[in-house]
Chains A and B, each alone.
Chain A
Amino acid sequence: MGPKSKSPSSGQGSSSASAGTPDGGLSRETLEGVGRRDPAALAALFDRHFERIYGLAFRMMGNRPDAEDVTQEVFLRVHKAAHQLDASRRPGPWLLAITANVCRERFRKQKRVIDRGSVSLDDDSGLSERLPGSQQDPAEELQQADTEGRVQRAILALPPDLREVVVLHDFEGMTHEDIAQVVGAGAPAVRKRYSRALTKLKETLLDVEK
């Protein structure tokens, strides 16, 4: 889920919509139901967080197959560890932390360096599905696709520790404090990583524009 569609009650940060429930919409009872693996509660959790998990996985992995693998792995782990969920707290950071971990493990396991220069619109079926529908001017669509392609390539060119901070902040709308919890670092470290990431992206994106 990107910033355009993100509602302020999507599970991170404080918002009026989150008042009274630990997850801005999922009640404590629902979260306790998740702990018991109650199907309705699991469905509610899935509906609430699937897009965010998939979005993070996609931005981190750079392609749809890997994003789907990561998302499946995350929900498998959540199902297995459902009894470990603390119903008194928002599950959003917990779920995103699992997602970030799975991504990191994949980078390590595969020992595969993502071909940072070879990601293109043609390689990326997920990207083409992100494009707006047919109501848009074809020229605008093309320009939008070009911009998104450049952004995605630039993000994938970042080291994973910088990439996850940018994705969580600018695509998932998380604060540095919340990101610090997800990535297991201090907020000052997250702030530095974010600044370094933007500087690198600036070199990539703005230089191309020139």
Chain B
Amino acid sequence: MNERDDMDLDSGQRKVQETLRRVAPVRPDPAFRSRLREQFMSGAIAEGQDLPDAIEVPTIRSAPASRPRSWWWTALPIAAVLIVSFLVADRGPAWRLHAVEGSGEVTMDGTQIVAGGDMRFGDEVAMSTGDDTGLQIASEGILLLDIAPHSEVVLPRAPRRLLRRTMTARVNSGELRVKSGPGFSGRRLVVETDEGRTVMIGTTISVYKGADFTCVCVLEGIARIGRDQDHLDAIPAGMRKVMFADGRAPLVTEIEPHHKADLELFEQSAGQAPW
């Protein structure tokens, strides 16, 4: 007997139950038992009985399928829908081409193309600009990237809304300018070079990668710059930090006037058209 069957009984019902269970078992007449047993064994019980060979007998149903299985069959599609919905909701605005300067000749993941309005940028795509081509790539309201001519850059993946809100770009050579937009709040961009990294939480910077050094100029806000995560310095607006490949001590100084002019031009162009 299953104790759960009797869980909801009140005290009166339990008392009745105890009374019932105290009743002695029924004792059939031994002569009847013996006679019936013999008839059943021998088959005499069926003799003279007008019953068909296949008589109607109850079918005992199997126990219902275990609940966990049905639960899983329901839960799996729901979980799948939730995951897909979450991934769709997490997807931020994709990179799109904002402006092109010069001939537009670029190499994207090793393929030479001419930059145009229908360009699609995958995550962490490697971009190389020709000698006369500059590109501006935007993720709507979040980041504007300006790749100077004769540069080789790996783009960050497109921003997410909910998870993985840190993006990483890389400058292998040349110059990348970055301006954050109002949608950048709560995110961070890391720009890596051979000499170090720049962590940007909302500002306008340029990262220039020379043959054996990296120069990071900060036009607005503050950027944290250093050779690795443990050696980041907070560099304020108007200053730059130069990191050298030969291990020399980094240099922190004011932005060179012509670098500042380039950054201000970038600022102006960013303000001319919404991105």
Contacts and interface: CB of A to CB of B under 8 A. Distances in A.
B58 A129 contact: no
Interface residues of B, number: 43
Contact of A76 (B5, B32, B45): B45
B58 A184 contact: yes
- Give the bracket for the number of chain A residues in contact with chain B: 35 or more
A103 interface: no
A59 B25 CA distance: 10
B41 interface: yes
B68 interface: no
A147 B23 contact: yes
Contacts of A110: none
A71 B39 CA distance: 12
Interface string A27-41: 000000000010100
Interface in A164-210: 166, 169-171, 173-177, 181-182, 184, 191, 194-195, 198-199, 201-202, 205-206
Contacts of B40: 42-43, 46, 75, 78-79
A123 interface: no
Task: Find the residue from A55, A97, A170, A173 having the highest chain B CB count within 10 A.
Answer: A170
Given A130-B27, A175-B1, A170 B17 contact: yes
B57 A84 contact: yes
A160 interface: no
Interface string A1-39: 111111000000100000000000000000000000101
A162 interface: no
B19 A50 contact: no
Contacts of A151: 19-20, 23
The 8 closest A-B pairs by CB, nearest first: A2-B25, A97-B58, A198-B13, A175-B2, A170-B20, A202-B12, A5-B25, A54-B28
Interface of B: 1-2, 5, 8-9, 12-13, 15-17, 19-29, 32-33, 36-37, 39-43, 45-46, 49, 51-55, 57-58, 60-61, 63
